[in-house]
Structure 1
Amino acid sequence: MEIYLLLSMFLSISALMAYLLERIGFSRIAGYIITGIVLSFFFAESLKANTAFLHFFSEVAITLLVFEIGREIGIEKIRRMNLIPLMILGFEIFFAFFLALLFGTIFKLGIIEIVILAAIASFSSTPIIFKLATDLGLSERARREILMVAIFDDIYAIMILALLPNLRFDGFEPIEFLRLATFSLIVTAILIISGLTVVKKLFVKIVEPNEPGVAIILGSAFLFAIISKSLGLSPALGAFAAGIALSTHPKNSELSEYLRPLREIFLIVFFVSLGTQAGLINFFSPLLLLAPLIVFFRFLAFTSANWLTTGKSLDESLKIGFAASCVGEFGMVITYEATKLGLIGLEFLTLSALSVILGALVSSKLSRRADNYAVKISSAVPKEVKAFVDKISVNIYRIVEGKTSEVVEEAFFRILRNVLILIFTIVTCSSALYISDLLFPAVSVYLSIVIFSSIISIIILIAIKTRKYAEDLCSIFVDKSGINPVFKEVLVSSTFFTLVLLSLGLALLVSGSFLTGLVNRIYKVDIAHFLMIFVISLFLSVILIVYMKVKRVPP
């Protein structure tokens, strides 16, 4: 097929599809992706013949998209970030990795595939969620928090993109991963600092909101992208740094208007081409059944995070959860890059596309009757539980945002540091299981017992140390909120047991492939599903323990 005809079809059909979907309240981007999937059914051979053309448009689109994200975020918004959006992001990542690790164990996925699956489930569609939040009449504070979470999402996504080109090693090596993460952070810092010093001054002096100014800006974005790529990282990292540099320009908004048409054209072709590649899969994968679960986990993560940390009622948190159940397009960008690098199969791109489309449909449908649905779900929760959580949430928000926020941040980051150390230890020790089995297969059973004993000991020791920081944090909370002091011990003990049980569940999930392989090799029994049930039981035990302890608190 002639390339001009292909481009004409991309733009005209996608415009029609986007218009129709927008008329019934859905996302334009979902329309672009659906267009690509439909075209793949009829023009598969022509699309394969023009792969180089589609890859070129995709590369340019990703560079422009990430550049625009850097420009919109800007250094000032990064400086003004607080704990609440970070806590919400933590909920998102936790639920996403829980889903990915759980079903990764069932489907026997590799660590890179699990990371990509978690990435698909980690993001909400910023344009959709913000539009729905406005339509729902949510408060200015709620919309601002959603925007800040979206900023954290974008930064998190860009770091994943930056690491992807260097993740083509076989198996998971924690030391190699840490080296890459550290190197990425150093390169990011260098690019951003050079952008905020040298490039910033050049932009201010010579760039004006006109055609030559746009040419200079685009040239800088692609130059930074090439520098990043030459260092073995994703070009997106360099484009992001260039966008940060432009964000300081006095006429930033005017320059953005000049860039918008060019960016939109490339993004339309990009999302249509993603749809075509997702539609080229010629077999059914069980992974595709995860699309509804990904949407549900998006809803669960955002609802619980807002209800527990922002001082909002369950009804309002549910409305935000309805809007946030739309799965983000950035997951498709990451999946596309990973597919192009040969890290994962095409079925992941199809799963990502289905999740984006399904999420857009579900979030739009739920948001139309958000009040009715929120009341029905909220009525199923006992009144005493709602009253208790509402009170806790209000006090958490007041303390985090109030005068004691610096002390709270210090205690919070100490706990976060211990949790990160715990995760690193679990991943490292779990990797040692695979290495010991490879080097010493004859005694791998005994070595695995020793390693698991070490993991459990470390989990308990770090949990005990974290308990002290939790006591400090809870003391501030009880003193400032004026609630029953008995709650302090309940919260501290709940933190301890939660950390121990969740860490044990994480250890089992990370080492799940090793355990199932070892048992299958020795006893010829597949324990993958038993392991999944046991891990789910651990997580349900956490909920049950917290609930039982909360019930013991006098009113």
Structure 2
Amino acid sequence: MEGGVFESFFLIFCGAAVVASVALYTRQPLLVAYIAVGAILGPFGLEIIKDVHYVAEMSHIGIIFLLFLLGLDMQPSALLNVLKKATSIALISSAIFGALGYGFGVIIGFSHMESLVLAMASMFSSTIIGIKLLPTTVLHHKHSGDLMVGLLLFQDFIAILCLLVLLSGGGDTVEPMKLIKAIAALPLLAAGAFLFVRFVLLKLIQKFDRFHEYIFLLAIGWCLGLAHLSESVNLSAEIGAFIAGISLATSPISQYIALNLRPLRDFFLVLFFFALGAQLNIPLLPSVLLPALIFAAVVLAAKPTVFFLLLKQQSEKTSLAWDLGFRLGQISEFSILIVFVAATNNLIGEQASLLIQTTAILTFIVSSYIVIFNFPNPIAVSDKLRRD
């Protein structure tokens, strides 16, 4: 990073603190402030921080910790029950949004492959936005929280399959063994994690639970270790982190671990949103702004409506169906990763890449505004809606 790690961190967090203060005074979401700081200080803004590659790499750890904490607060039996209900909704909604993205790409003149990548990028909702803006009491103790986690996890698995397709040649020369390996690895990884926790990790925790520093270190090592193992078998680090968390969920110390890791998670999530803003190519933005605005509007209207209709078919209450629909009404951070993989493999052009990134950021921002000003969430500017 230009100017060194310390200087970059100083600029990122001091800048975020200043802009966040302004955002709170003007009743704006903090997530928007972090993205704005990235756009201002990044290589396409004032060029104060010219290389954000390492920041983007480190920010991924925030998503990993986010999934680990989710797992810590969810019992395995509850996950199995909610996945049964979420599977059909995730499959049908992903197919609808994929068709929507592909059709839009064809209409604006994208190639078949660029339209296919746009379809993949449109299929999923943001884990970070969905989970960060859900009150903790809802997330961990209510049916709506379990249902959202189930939907996001199933979407993550579909996203992994899409990434494997892109990595294996872009859809024309798919390597079936990679897909088979990923599908087979999931239950094996989960079974291995639960056995390791039962016969090794819990015994270590019971023996040394009075050494808080050791428990903290052990939890981070277990989370990142299983995340890395997951990546090595063609799954994602996020899925590995979630399995690491849920395998520890039955332990009496799980809540202690969760409480101590939350500040670390938030530290890396600030970096994630900063990197998101910093990687936006502002000089080229006018060339894709109109189609990005149109597609963002389509996504923001279609996603809540589709989720509402699918949830109502599952006999969910109208209020819950709209609530989850709007919370899932944006494009995912996986969209950025899909764009990166596709661009690296020369499957899409720079305009297609920028359009998807711009659409993702627009839906992040507008969706955050909708949730923060209309639904209970931990960072609401209104006391009436603020729920921790």
Q: What's the TM-score once normalised by structure 2's chain length?
A: 0.77
Equivalent AA in structure 1 for residue 111 of structure 2:
K
- The 5 Å alignment of 1:312-461 reads 312-313=317-318, 316=319, 319-320=322-323, 323-324=326-327, 326-327=329-330, 331-336=332-337, 338-339=339-340, 342=344, 345-365=353-373
User: 1:132, CA displacement in angstroms?
Assistant: 12
**Structure 2: how far apart are the matches of 1:303 and 1:167?**
31
Q: Which residue of 1 aligns with 2:57?
A: 56
Q: Could you say what secondary structure the match of 2:49 adopts?
A: helix
User: 1:254, CA displacement in angstroms?
Assistant: 0.8
| 1:292 aligned onto 2:290 | no
- The 5 Å alignment of 1:21-32 reads 21=23, 27-32=29-34
Q: Could you say what secondary structure the match of 2:42 adopts?
A: helix
| 1:126 aligned onto 2:130 | yes
| 1:205 aligned onto 2:207 | no
Larger Rg: 1 or 2?
Answer: 1
**Structure 1: how far apart are the matches of 2:103 and 2:364?**
21
| 1:104 aligned onto 2:105 | yes
Q: Of residues 211, 214, 217 in structure 2, which corresponds to 1:215? A: 217
Q: Of residues 264, 269, 272 in structure 2, which corresponds to 1:270? A: 272
Q: Could you say what secondary structure the match of 1:170 adopts?
A: coil
Number of aligned residue pairs: give it: 356
User: 1:5, CA displacement in angstroms?
Assistant: 2.8
8 Å contact from structure 1 (residues 307, 317) kept in 2:
no
Q: Which residue of 1 aligns with 2:385?
A: none
**Structure 1: how far apart are the matches of 2:310 and 2:221?**
41
Q: Percent identity?
A: 18
Q: CA, structure 1 residues 280+119, in 2 after alignment: closer, same or farther (shift >3 Å)?
A: farther
Q: Which residue of 2 aligns with 1:384?
A: none
RMSD after superposition:
3.6
Q: CA, structure 1 residues 322+170, in 2 after alignment: closer, same or farther (shift >3 Å)?
A: closer
User: 1:273, CA displacement in angstroms?
Assistant: 1.0
**Structure 2: how far apart are the matches of 1:77 and 1:281?**
48
Tell me whether 98-107 or 165-174 shows the greater mean CA deviation: 165-174
8 Å contact from structure 2 (residues 44, 283) kept in 1:
no
Equivalent AA in structure 1 for residue 204 of structure 2:
I
Q: Which residue of 2 aligns with 1:190?
A: 188
**Structure 2: how far apart are the matches of 1:304 and 1:204?**
43
Q: Which has the higher contact order (CA 8 A, sep 6+)?
A: 2
Q: What's the TM-score once normalised by structure 1's chain length?
A: 0.56
**Which sections of structure 2, spanning at least 5 residues, go unmatched?**
377-388
User: 1:311, CA displacement in angstroms?
Assistant: 5.2
**Structure 2: how far apart are the matches of 1:308 and 1:350?**
33
User: 1:277, CA displacement in angstroms?
Assistant: 0.7
User: 1:234, CA displacement in angstroms?
Assistant: 3.4
Q: Could you say what secondary structure the match of 1:125 adopts?
A: helix
Q: Could you say what secondary structure the match of 2:134 adopts?
A: helix
Q: CA, structure 1 residues 78+103, in 2 after alignment: closer, same or farther (shift >3 Å)?
A: same
| 1:243 aligned onto 2:248 | no
**Which sections of structure 1, spanning at least 5 residues, go unmatched?**
135-139, 369-555
Equivalent AA in structure 1 for residue 189 of structure 2:
L
8 Å contact from structure 1 (residues 88, 305) kept in 2:
yes
